[in-house]
Chains A and B, each alone.
Chain A
Amino acid sequence: GAVVSQHPSRVICKSGTSVKIECRSLDFQATTMFWYRQFPKQSLMLMATSNEGSKATYEQGVEKDKFLINHASLTLSTLTVTSAHPEDSSFYICSAISVSTDTQYFGPGTRLTVL
């Protein structure tokens, strides 16, 4: 089956630093990837839609200057949390759409803790 990886799986950083999270589709090409965040015992909230070669589309209430998204190739999208603060601590999950199967596959998630 289609595999999506994320790196790192867990990161702890100091307040004010920036953190980059990578999302890769390992065995398929993905023209569209999505970034979600999930707080404890809550559901996934869509942050943005990332299209290869174009600017990301952000959901209402998500700061585009704080959460920088780059989709440089058909297999890689990155999310950079700039000037992270403790309230940015969350579980960040990416997903990618397989064009051949029209199915959205999720990565294993990245747990970000900002001290």
Chain B
Amino acid sequence: QKEVEQDPGPLSVPEGAIVSLNCTYSNSAFQYFMWYRQYSRKGPELLMYTYSSGNKEDGRFTAQVDKSSKYISLFIRDSQPSDSATYLCAMRVDYKLSFGAGTTVTVRA
């Protein structure tokens, strides 16, 4: 079993829709939870970073963490074609990151 499970998709939504992404994990030692966005042939870009259960909002992005269920989510409101990318969840113990497989999202104009 992988430490971090993420459905690779692909996921296609119309412009303006809400994009819902999620990951599950098995390692209770994970301390920090992140979402990265990666465009084709580029390095990952940090979107959201949290370390506690609950919701965190930043503009159109909302990250949720449920440590009791070992489940994290990312919601993108009012999605735009420019949001089309691969979204990776990542979890951290000390300074080591474990990544999910990444979900490829396409927002159709």
Contacts and interface: CB of A to CB of B under 8 A. Distances in A.
B43 A93 contact: yes
Interface residues of A, number: 23
A100 interface: no
| Chain A interface SS verdict (over half) | strand
Contacts of A44: 44, 88, 97, 99
Contact of B41 (A6, A105, A109): A109
A107 B43 CA distance: 6
Contact of B97 (A4, A6, A46): A46
Given A43-B88, A43-B101, A104 B95 contact: yes
B96 interface: yes
Given A43-B88, A44-B88, A46-B96, A111 B43 contact: no
Given A46-B96, A97-B95, A109 B43 contact: yes
Interface in A1-15: 4, 6
Nearest to B104: A41
Q: Report, as a range, how many residues of chain B touch the other chain.
A: 20 to 34
Interface string B31-69: 000001000011111100100000000000000000000
Interface string B61-97: 0000000000000000000000000001000100111
B95 A93 contact: no
Nearest to A59: B96
Contacts of B102: 42-43
Nearest to A9: B41
Contacts of B104: 41
A108 B96 contact: no
B52 to A, nearest CB: 15
A43 B6 CA distance: 10
Interface in A97-115: 97, 103-109, 111
B45 A106 contact: yes
Nearest to A107: B43
B28 to A, nearest CB: 20
